Amino acid sequence: MKAVWYEKQGDASEVLIYGEMEKPTPQNDEVLIKVHYSGLNPSDTKRRVGFRGQKHAFHSIIPHSDGSGIIEAVGSNIDSKRIGERVWVYSAQWQRPFGTAANFVCVPSNLAIKLEDSISLEIGATIGIPALTAYAGMFKYTNPKNKIILITGGAGSVGNCAIQMAKYAGATVISSVSGDKKMEAALTAGADYALRYDTSNFADDIMKITNGEKVDLIFDVALGTNLETNLDIIKDHGIISTYASDKKAITEIPFQKFLLMNLTVYSVFMYLLPDKMMQNALEFIKDWQINSDIKPFITKIYPLEETAAAHLALESGKTIGNIIIDCRD
């Protein structure tokens, strides 16, 4: 089969290899998927470069944890009726060497989720990490219905997905972004309001939108950078959830203010979600697929042999929405 892999960490243009690799065979409890599209996420590029000390865990690594395709074969203990099923995949490369940037991938059967007939395989490749992260960040301690939620980074893959999921759940959604095109993307995803966060009056702008009412929940892509502002706009007993803080990994917590506001603050690392939350997330995503028009913004589809260019595009920070890789023969 054709695949992309790397044997050492480094720049995408230097370490990603495109070539032939042996087609995998499904083992016990696994399914073999003919990959149609591979979903690219920041965690894939961070793992490739060894971001914050991540080690090169295997000799050869086929990157990417998300994807979509058709089940071609099954291992023992798996019902053969799954053969031919359209699926979306998550965590394909988590603690395993081979992900979805290839013509075929084997994963445990429970990581291959049936894709509803109304959802294209292109969109299926964008569901995994973004949707599961968004669910954990917004539903762990509250029901978003009738809540005011601020979603930072609404033009990114996770933020875009979070906007759609929050609106489906019945929330009022404000999204913060860094540019006009990103503002348009957040509004297209369904945000009620989109604001530039890089202004001196951002907190005041939030208060104007809400008529002075502070927000119930903040789903944050940059906790360290945004913490001070977040404390000015969140309600007492509010919730701040975060899945990234790339630019400021270490920040001081004003404990007394946290204490008196009785805030809940928690991090989301999708790969280690508890089983119960994962099942709840999968049920929500299934209902969302059936009852709503999932419309993630796919900015570009790269052919498999141009995976390095896709990585560089994502790392540029200029990408709006999702990048996927066409892995079909």
User: Does one domain contain both 154 and 209?
Assistant: yes
| DSSP bridge partners of 33 | 71, 105
Q: Are residues 240 and 260 part of one domain? A: yes
Pairwise CA distance, residues 34 & 38, whole Å: 11
- Domain annotation covers residue 288: no
CATH code for position 255: 3.40.50.720
Q: What is the pLDDT along the chain (329 residues), one digit of tens a residue?
A: 999 999 999 999 999 999 999 999 999 999 999 999 999 999 999 999 999 999 999 999 999 999 999 999 999 999 999 999 999 999 999 999 999 999 999 999 999 999 999 899 999 999 999 999 999 999 999 999 999 999 999 999 999 999 999 999 999 999 999 989 999 999 999 999 999 998 889 999 999 999 999 999 999 999 999 999 999 999 999 999 999 999 999 988 899 998 999 999 999 999 999 999 999 999 999 999 889 877 778 999 999 999 999 999 999 988 888 999 999 98
- The Cα 318–Cα 188 span in angstroms is 18
**Which structural domain, as residue segments, surrounds residue 187?**
130-271
291 assigned to some structural domain: no
179 in the same domain as 98: no
pLDDT at 189: 93
Report yes or no on 277 lying in a domain: no
Q: Is residue 182 part of a domain?
A: yes
pLDDT score for 293:
75
CB 309 within 8 A of CB 45: no
Domain count, the chain: 2
Domain limit, last residue, from 254, 271, 288: 271
Question: Are 170 and 217 contained in the same domain?
Answer: yes
Q: Residue 211: helix, strand or coil by DSSP?
A: coil
Q: How far apart are CA 323 and CA 225, in angstroms?
A: 26
Residue 290 counted as domain residue: no
* CATH code for position 100: 3.90.180.10
Task: Using the structure block, give the residue that is written with the tokens 């509250």.
Answer: 142
DSSP 70-136: EEEEE-TTS-GGGTT-EEEE-STTTTSSB-SSBSEEEEEGGGEEEPPTTS-HHHHTTTHHHHHHHHH
Asked whether residue 159 falls in the same domain as residue 262, the answer is: yes
Are 219 and 158 in the same domain? Answer: yes
Query: Does residue 287 sit within a domain?
Result: no
Phi/psi for 110 (5° steps) reads -70, -10
Question: Residue 80: what pLDDT?
Answer: 97
Is residue 207 in some structural domain? yes
Based on the domain organization, do 63 and 163 belong to the same domain?
A: no
**86 and 166 in one domain?**
no
Let me know whether 117 and 140 are in one domain.
no
Give yes or no: residues 184 and 99 share one domain. no
Cβ neighbours around 43 below 10 Å, total: 23
pLDDT at 112: 98
- Quick one: pLDDT at residue 124? 96
Q: Within a domain: residue 147?
A: yes
What pLDDT score was predicted for residue 289? 86
